[in-house]
């Protein structure tokens, strides 16, 4: 079993992703990172979180490695209307939090198929699983995690400069 993953280090990575979008590199970084804006469940303020995603059909799938404990997921449970910025696109969506192990495993199988090296490394380092986990291992992992599916509902704008 791998050592417990240090989630505090992710704050620095997220800052870098926000800066890359801010300086106009959204078109480049948007291939793997989107910006999710939720409404704070206590403060009512807008909260922006950079997240890896997979686009499956018209929907955007976001893995929540901290499951229902993640602040952004808790915000969605309070108010499922979110804003997404991915590359040069920005839109409003309705977020659905999914904890069903089979649906979560389906999502992870897509991620592993599309990004075998990156996701394999995450499986190994963050979750203590083999780089090529079994379906049973993926479903077991879902007991601690969640996937959020964002269904786009309204196109806000397209950014023409740098975005």
Distances in Å between the alpha carbon of 38 and those of 21, 25, 49?
17, 22, 8
Number of domains in the chain: 1
Q: Report yes or no on 101 lying in a domain.
A: yes
Q: What pLDDT was estimated at residue 26?
A: 64
Write the pLDDT tens digit of every residue in 22-69: 666 666 566 788 999 999 999 999 999 999 899 999 999 998 878 899
Give the domain extent around 87. Answer: 8-158
The CATH number covering residue 138 comes to 2.30.110.10
Q: Report yes or no on 3 lying in a domain.
A: no
Q: Report yes or no on 163 lying in a domain.
A: no
Q: How many whole angstroms separate alpha carbon 148 and alpha carbon 74?
A: 11
């Amino acid at each position: 079993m791998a050592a417990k993953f240090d989630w505090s280090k992710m704050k620095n990575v997220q800052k870098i992703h926000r800066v890359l979008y801010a300086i106009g590199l959204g078109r480049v970084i948007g291939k793997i990172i989107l910006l999710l804006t939720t409404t704070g469940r206590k403060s009512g303020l807008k909260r922006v979180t950079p997240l890896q995603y997979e686009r499956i059909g018209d929907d955007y799938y976001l893995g929540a490695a901290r499951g229902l404990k993640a602040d952004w997921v808790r915000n969605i449970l309070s108010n499922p209307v979110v804003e997404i910025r991915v590359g040069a696109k920005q839109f409003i969506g309705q977020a659905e939090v999914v904890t069903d192990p089979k649906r979560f495993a389906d999502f992870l199988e897509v991620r592993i198929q599309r990004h075998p090296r990156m996701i394999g490394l995450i499986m190994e380092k963050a979750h203590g699983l083999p780089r090529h986990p079994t379906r049973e291992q993926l479903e077991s992992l879902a007991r601690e995690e969640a996937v959020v599916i964002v269904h786009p509902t309204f196109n806000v704008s397209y950014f023409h400069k740098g975005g």
